Amino acid sequence: MEGDLRLGKEATATGQTAAAAQEAVRWIASLGGFLGRKRDGEPGTTTMRRGLERLAALVEGWQLYQTMHPARASP
């Protein structure tokens, strides 16, 4: 919301940054089991930890794939 009250380039950068950060938090939380229903509130620390662990496993898997298939690794 704060980004909406500012003027010029700063408003766009602040609003987009805040929205991107919130989207990233929700995405990581969903990896940890957060459902994001209407009355669920914000994700907790345990859910975020689980999500970050899952993200780390996905990154490790992608890196392993890249080492095994270097020609096909880039999307």
Q: What is the pLDDT of residues 50-72, one digit of tens each?
A: 999 999 999 999 999 989 988 76
Q: Which of 33, 53, 54 lies closest to 44 in space, CA to CA?
A: 33
Cβ distance 34 to 43 under 8 Å?
yes
Query: What DSSP string describes 34-63?
Result: ----TT--S--HHHHHHHHHHHHHHHHHHH
Tokens encoding 5: 């009250």
Q: What is the pLDDT of residues 24-47, one digit of tens each?
A: 999 999 999 999 999 999 999 999
Output the furthest CA–CA distance in the chain (Å, rounded). Answer: 50
Cβ distance 22 to 36 under 8 Å?
no
pTM: predicted TM-score of the whole model, two decimal places: 0.69
Kindly list the domain boundaries of the chain, sorted by start residue: 2-68
